[in-house]
Structure 1
Amino acid sequence: MMATPVLAQESAAPEVPAAPATAQLDTVVVTGEQPGPGLWKVSKGEHVLWVLGTQSPLPQKMQWRAREVEERVAQSQAVLLSPGLYIKSGVGFWGRLALIPSLIGIRNNPDGKKLAQIVPAEQYARWQPLKQRYLGRGNKVEKWRPLFAAMELYGEAIKRNGMTGGNDLIGERVEAFSKKAGIKPTLVKVTVDVKEPRAAIKEFKHSALDDLDCFSKTLDRLETDLGNMKLRVNAWATGDLAALRALPFTNQYAACMQAMQGATVLKDFGDINAQTKQAWIEAASKALDTNASTFALLPMSDIIGEGRYLSALAERGYHVEAPDDVDEVPAIAAQP
């Protein structure tokens, strides 16, 4: 069952002590041309899969020196893009246009409630100084569900700290290299088929989301992890994998994705994260068996974080080598 949100009085925002101001961080995000990390090599016999670990966010003013990636893509017969979720609505262009009016207000809390009436008082006290610092005094976001408010806050916070979303940037460059090489990239995806999109939108607007954990972890990350976040983006940009492995990683995305998957329109489709991982492993195995060379993208957290997709390929008999020759697979395979 979904957790019941703790409601504050509707007449006024809760009177709680202000949260302490977040300490100013002096870590400088790198700029200029940077090499990025090396490539993981997965092989069996003469067949090779080259894997680039992607990172988000990335330094805002970095130019990625991607010569090795371009060369590996040019030598490959297939390119696998990062795995993701695809929502199929079964409507064409005009049908999508007709749906636009029903999307208005989709981010808002049901029944017109404000954020102060949805989140616990302690979380709202932490939210206020962060919101003022990064979003200003506007009240539009105060109508939004905690999930969407957290996403808006996070996006503006990384921008103000010299960072930008990285996965799209990397994906676009790899797609450009693929086009130049005459390869149509493969999007590894799990498809959710929404038969009646208008009804699904209406249902989503009126359904509760168990998104307080997402909201809280986003606040945690902005209060305590911005310094490490800058160190991580610098480590990716300069190719320092030892630093990436050593730095603690607080990931609010898992909690936010879990909240979205708990929505009525998605919860009947099972564990989408597990399905996505399995889809990528199957696509990678097929590509390895079929092609002499394949290039693939994976989030860095799925390579050296908890996801560790490549250990599943090792268990199937493929040989996995890290760019810095660190043999990670035995330690991964030993985990329960």
Structure 2
Amino acid sequence: MRRLAILATAAALFTTPAHAQTAPGLDDPEANVVEALVVAAKLPGPAWWKISDGDTTIYMLGVLQALPQGQAWDTSVLDHRLDGAFAVILPPEGRAGIGDLPAALALRGKLKADAPLDASVGDLGPKLARARATLGKKPDAYNGWNPLGAGIMMAGDYRKSVRLEPAEPERAIGRLARKHGLKPKPAATYKVMPLVKTAVREHSREAGLICLEGVLDEINAGPEAARAAARAWTRGDVRGAIAGPRNFQRCLLALPGMADLERRGTQDEVEALAAAMKTPGHAVAVYGIRSLVARGGVLDLMRARGFVVSTPE
């Protein structure tokens, strides 16, 4: 799923990240993939899967959480499959309203700290210094934040510096769908502030450090791995696409409730797809590519329900 509610909305509230390599021991719903689903596409552009029964077919497009700004991709197959589709199903999304702004601002106080950041990060000091230098920041740039707050701020700065666009490719998909007279709808919507409050207020010091380390590792590794995954995605190379960095996942999965939220999103996507299978014809659906091919992921669960799942080959 799009790095759904918590950090996707925190991006609007605090400025945050979108991608993520998990730390050992964390509860990671996407840790293992179904190898039979990880194949290379034959058609132009990104990989598609098909979910079908007797009279309905859903064309399933796996997407990345963000693309490098200006990354082109072949939309010809998408354009063809949108023609005559009865629906376009997007991943579940988190929503926050203008009324949530005071609560968001209040939560910033929970991310603050009196001690200098370097004094509270222990062995992460060298990684922190290197990451600050990479971002062109002064040694005291993130003082005043606790490890989680610093991780959020640094992730936002990094995303801007490498020009990652978290609205893509879904924005392009939505634009093309509307040209076909279709209104894309998310599989589910969640109120985000309760999730954000729990994650920020109840996270442990260890979770904050795990979060910060994931962000630091992503920054220090540089942008090429993410760019390579994006290039692989554009040519339908599923294995290359899912091999991209997942360091920010450490942050997400260390926070209270996030692993459960990932599973909830997958289940809600499955329910939306199963409901669509009751309508004859064809539809288009979009979901995070790793979540699609994960063991216990969307395609695995749809197959378990008796639907036929065809791979991109």
Same fold (TM over 0.5): yes
User: Structure 1, residues 115-154: CA drift from partner, whole Å, max 9, x if none?
Assistant: 223322x212211111111142174533233234334434
Q: Is the 8 A contact 1:85 1:276 kept in 2?
A: no
1:143 aligns with 2:154: no
> Partner of 1:255 in structure 2?
250
After superposing on structure 2, the runs of 4+ consecutive aligned residues of structure 1 that deviate more than 6 Å are 203-206
Q: Is the 8 A contact 1:110 1:208 kept in 2?
A: no
Cα distance between partner residues in 1 of 2:45 and 2:157: 24
Match of 2:293 among 289, 304, 316: 304
Residue 187 of structure 1 and its aligned partner are, at CA, apart by 1.2
Residue 68 of structure 1 and its aligned partner are, at CA, apart by 1.7
| TM-score between the two structures when normalised by the length of structure 1 | 0.67
Cα distance between partner residues in 2 of 1:215 and 1:284: 36
Residue 164 of structure 1 and its aligned partner are, at CA, apart by 1.4
User: Structure 1, residues 221-280: CA drift from partner, whole Å, max 9, x if none?
Assistant: 3444744333212111233335336x4x542343322344x2xxxx5x992222111111
Cα distance between partner residues in 2 of 1:283 and 1:133: 43
Match of 2:209 among 184, 208, 212: 212
Indicate the percent of aligned positions where both proteins have the same amino acid. Answer: 21
Q: Is the 8 A contact 2:58 2:283 kept in 1?
A: yes
Match of 1:314 among 298, 303, 306: 303
Q: Is the 8 A contact 1:80 1:185 kept in 2?
A: yes
Q: Is the 8 A contact 2:52 2:309 kept in 1?
A: yes
| TM-score between the two structures when normalised by the length of structure 2 | 0.72
Of the structure 1 ranges 233-242 and 276-285, higher mean CA displacement relative to structure 2 is found in 233-242
Task: Give the aligned CA root-mean-square deviation in angstroms.
Answer: 3.3
Structure 1 segment 1-336 matched on structure 2, within 5 A: 36-86=45-95, 95-96=99-100, 99=102, 103=105, 106=108, 109-120=111-122, 122-137=123-138, 139-157=140-158, 159-161=160-162, 163-166=163-166, 168-192=167-191, 208-209=203-204, 210-224=207-221, 226-244=223-241, 247=243, 249-260=244-255, 262=256, 271-305=260-294, 308-323=297-312, 325=313
Higher relative contact order (CA 8 A, sep 6+): 2
Aligned residues: 268
Structure of larger gyration radius:
1
Distance 1:69-1:145 versus aligned 2 partners, 3 A rule: farther
- SS of match in other structure, 1:289: coil
User: Structure 1, residues 38-78: CA drift from partner, whole Å, max 9, x if none?
Assistant: 32111112311111111134233322331221221232111
Cα distance between partner residues in 1 of 2:189 and 2:263: 10
Q: What letter corresponds to residue 249 of structure 2 in structure 1? A: A
**Unaligned residue ranges in structure 2 (runs of 5+):** 1-43
Q: Is the 8 A contact 2:92 2:269 kept in 1?
A: yes
Cα distance between partner residues in 2 of 1:57 and 1:148: 22
**Unaligned residue ranges in structure 1 (runs of 5+):** 1-34, 326-336
